[in-house]
Chains A and B, each alone.
Chain A
Amino acid sequence: QKEVEQNSGPLSVPEGAIASLNCTYSDRVSQSFFWYRQYSGKSPELIMSIYSNGDKEDGRFTAQLNKASQYVSLLIRDSQPSDSATYLCAVSSNYQLIWGAGTKLIIKP
């Protein structure tokens, strides 16, 4: 059974600080990794994808991938109250995405 694990939170971070979200996965041959943001009552929205080891930056967001440790993370710099949401990690496995349960992030003004 392929699994993706995330801490459910809530993770509380002061406004302006760095929020760090983590995800581990079990399928060693996974090649594609995604972070989705889901606001309460809304659908998941793709915010980052990463395919190779290292860091990928997009604005205030940085995705980090370490395939040897089977670990992917998302850093949000200069956190804003509008970043408060649930962040879902998804990992490709056998032609589909395996989803984590999500981490609830709360940015405190």
Chain B
Amino acid sequence: EAGVAQSPRYKIIEKRQSVAFWCNPISGHATLYWYQQILGQGPKLLIQFQNNGVVDDSQLPKDRFSAERLKGVDSTLKIQPAKLEDSAVYLCASSLNHGGGNGYTFGSGTRLTVV
């Protein structure tokens, strides 16, 4: 089966600019996750979707980050305006079941550098 697709792979922007990331999960996976991973740390959940509804966005900095999954399939994550501390890898993952009881499959990630 095809894996989780993400784009772009790399992005360099200046602070205060905006950026968007795209994710297409594995076909049939109802649950989609966006994670932020800073170098040397574990992944931090930003937002979790079940189909096109938000399950958890408690750690999403809503003043600058937004995400949508309008048709319950692919998803976009946006940052506007970006700050230096947003430099990280943004990982998209999907799972068959709500709660990830069978684990998650990750995409290749987008490495964001804010200068």
Task: Please list the residues of chain A having a beta carbon within 8 angstroms of any beta carbon in chain B.
Answer: 4, 8, 31-32, 34, 42-46, 49, 88, 90, 92, 95-97, 99-102
| Closest CB in chain B relative to A59 CB, distance in Å | 17
A99 near B99 with CB under 8 A, answer: no
Nearest B residue to A88 via CB reads B42
B101 near A45 with CB under 8 A, answer: no
B42 near A101 with CB under 8 A, answer: yes
| Closest CB in chain B relative to A22 CB, distance in Å | 15
A44 contacts across to B, CB distance below 8 A: 43, 91, 106
B8-34 interface with A by 8 A CB criterion = none
| Closest CB in chain A relative to B91 CB, distance in Å | 6
Contacts between chains A and B (CB distance < 8 A), count: 52
| A34 in complex: contacting residue of B43, B55, B103, B108, CB < 8 Å | B103
The distance in angstroms between the C-alpha atoms of A23 and B57, with both chains bound, is 26
B52 contacts across to A, CB distance below 8 A: none
B105 contacts across to A, CB distance below 8 A: 46
12 A-B contacts (beta carbon < 8 Å): A34-B103, A43-B91, A43-B106, A43-B107, A49-B102, A95-B99, A95-B100, A96-B45, A96-B99, A97-B100, A97-B104, A101-B42
| Closest CB in chain A relative to B7 CB, distance in Å | 14
A95 near B106 with CB under 8 A, answer: no
